[in-house]
Structure formats: structure tokens, C-alpha cells
Amino acid sequence: MATLEFDQGLFHLEQRNQPVSSTLTPYQQRMVQFCQQYLKGQPEFQLQTSGSTGTPKSITITHGQMQSSAQLTIQTLGLSEGDRLLICLNTDFIGGKMMLVRGMELNAHMKIISPKTNLLEYKPVDFIALVPLQVYALLASAEGLQFLESCSKVIIGGAPLQQRAAQVLGELSNDVYQTFGMTETVSHFALKKVSVKKPGPFKALPEVDLRLDERGCLVVKGPMTDFEEVITNDLVEFMGEGQFEWIGRFDEVINSGGYKVYPPKVSQAVEKVLGSMGYDMEFMVFGLPHEDFGQLLALVMQGPPLVAQQEEELVKGLRQQLHTYETPKKLMYLPHFPRTDTGKPCVQAIKTVLANI
């Protein structure tokens, strides 16, 4: 039977009616209560969306959807009963909660730590889920890179992965995947193997059907959606049956002077140019309201402002990578990006701050 390991000790989940220890934190108590409810077969659960691109909302997910999602991931990744899982995502949200479900389905040993904990001391690990910020922190040291390679299976989700990080991860000897999904699809429904030698598109999990709606956005149907269609705002390009590349979000396409600009394309160029300049700054691309153009393309960077000469070098580099209408017309800076509880930059909050600058 699955076990949860906290700093305070082990909790054996076969004891489904055992009172939750008062020595656990409220966060840990909620985790144990969820696991007990799941193992008792509670039919429905209320989950909260992260709110990174809009107002957080509560949605209902069934026990069957969670189980189906977990089993498809287990089969696709070749996970085994008794595997050791390190859970370092917030389990109040779908990414962390589904790690608990996978662990219960596997009868796994689950080591539970805070999302902000130093991961290096927790080895060996058979399966771990991370967000990009955790990956970047690990890649900053040789010890962190060694830790990542020591994990047999790694999945990374919640936000796009920077190109240079993907290149480093793609050279590792273990299995590293980017995930594609959301709360409404009960975590991921597609995976992309991070590989330098054989890079490829996202590939849907077995039994998942994909199509495009009239906007060119992805529509998902499978066991994890209870075979009901989930309409997304994700613009994709199909690369073959069940395979696709992400273009961007329909609700984030920038219309500047009649030209459609896709932030992910601009972001790739910005990352490349900043990297060539020796900078590792977090940034976002926005369309700000403009009287003449409708929207003005702005590059917003986290951290201290670049000096004029550095800004000129950045813009010059971007003009060599992008069309004129895709090149940011305004450079802005924020000391820190507002974030959601899952660590993602909060788009709406950032836009509100920018509107008052």
C-alpha cells in the first residue's frame, strides 16, 4: 500500500480511517485527507484552476477521470508498482494532486516536500514532476544537474520550457518529458520527449482524440475528460495523428497595426538574443493598448533595467531574428513578477501593474 513520508514521519494509506495527525501542518493534513477520500472511492472532487491567465475558478473532477489520467501516464512512462516518487509541487492544485493519485495507483512510496525545498538531498527518485522554475534552479549547479539525471523519469509542466534548458536536458541519459495539459483535462494529456538527437512534437496519450475548432484551437476528448470534449484556447499545428506543436494561446495573440503577433515566437527570439548577450532574465511579451495600433508590442523583463547600450544591442539582435511588426516596440521592467500559488507569472496581475506605470 502507498505511503506518504513527511518530515514528521510515515503515514500508511491503508489506514484509511486513521485520524489525521495534529502534528502535520494544515497543508499536509489536506493532502492526507484527499488521499483517504480517493482511496475510499469518493466520486467527485472540487479543484481550483491556477489563475495564471484568468480568474481562478473551481471545477468538479470525478474519481474515474483522475484514475484514468493516472493510469495512462503510468502506462506511457512505464512506471512500476513500488516506485519512489518525490512530490515537490503544490498538492492543492492539479499538478501536485495528480502526483498523489499516480502514487496511490502505483502503491508507491511518496516523499512529500515543500515546493521551495532544496531537492538535492532527496535521492534516489524514480519519478518526479517539476515546473520550469525548479528546473532552472537545478540547472544552475553541477549538483543540480546530477540530481536531475539521477531521477529515472522526469516530467516538466505548467509553462513552456526555455530552449537552452531543453538543450541541456536533452543531453541527459534519463527520460525527461515536457507535459501539455490543464486542470480541465486533469493534468496532462500529451507528452514531448526532451531530446537533442530526436526532437519531436507533443504526442497525445493513448485513447485521447484531438481536433481543431474553427479558431484553430485544440479540442481534447479522452478518458481523463470523461470522453467529453474540452475546448482549449491553445493554437496548435498538427504534425501527424495525435501529434502537434504549440503556437500560442488564442486569447494572447497580439494584433498590432493589423498584424497578428504570436508571443511564443517573439519569446524564442528574445531568449536567444539575451542568451547571446550573457543575460538570464525572466521576461514576458504583451500587447499593450495603443490609440493608433490597437496594441503595442511590449517586452517586459524582470529585474533591474538594462542600460541604453544594452537595450540597443537587444533590439538590434531581435530585428535580425524577427519581422519588423514582431519586434517589441517598448521595453519595460518590473522588479518582480506577481505569481500564482503554483509559481507561474500571473498574467492578469502583471497587466494591471503595467497599466499603472
Digit-coded pLDDT (tens) for 112-135: 998 877 888 888 899 999 999 899
- What is the bridge-based pairing of β-strands 175-182 and 187-193? antiparallel
| pLDDT at 14 (0 to 100) | 77
The model carries a pTM of 0.87
| pLDDT at 254 (0 to 100) | 92
CA angle 94, 96, 97 (to 5 degrees): 60
Helix ranges, the chain (H): 26-39, 63-77, 94-106, 132-139, 142-150, 163-169, 263-276, 308-321, 347-355
What does residue 251 show for φ and ψ, rounded to 5 degrees? -80, 0
Residue with cell 502507498: 2
Q: Which domains does the chain have, with CATH numbers?
A: 3-250 (3.40.50.12780), 253-355 (3.30.300.30)
Digit-coded pLDDT (tens) for 319-347: 999 999 999 999 999 999 998 877 788 88
CB 161 within 8 A of CB 178: yes
Q: Is 150 helix (H, G, I), strand (E, B) or coil?
A: helix
The C-alpha cell of 113 is what? 516536500
Give the Cα separation of 267 and 262 in Å (integer): 9
pLDDT in tens, the chain (357 residues): 899 999 888 888 876 677 777 788 999 999 999 999 999 999 999 998 765 555 678 899 999 999 999 999 999 999 999 899 999 999 999 999 999 999 999 999 999 998 877 888 888 899 999 999 899 999 999 999 999 999 999 999 988 888 889 999 999 999 999 999 999 999 999 999 998 877 889 999 999 999 999 999 999 999 999 999 999 999 999 998 899 999 999 988 999 888 899 999 999 999 999 999 998 889 999 998 888 889 999 999 999 999 999 999 999 999 999 999 999 999 999 999 998 877 788 888 888 888 877
The 8-class DSSP code of residue 34 comes to H
What does residue 109 show for φ and ψ, rounded to 5 degrees? -90, 120
Give the Cα separation of 36 and 263 in Å (integer): 42
Bond into 124 cis (ω within 30)? yes
| pLDDT at 117 (0 to 100) | 76
| pLDDT at 55 (0 to 100) | 65
Give the Cα separation of 185 and 94 in Å (integer): 10
| pLDDT at 50 (0 to 100) | 66
Give the Cα separation of 193 and 203 in Å (integer): 9
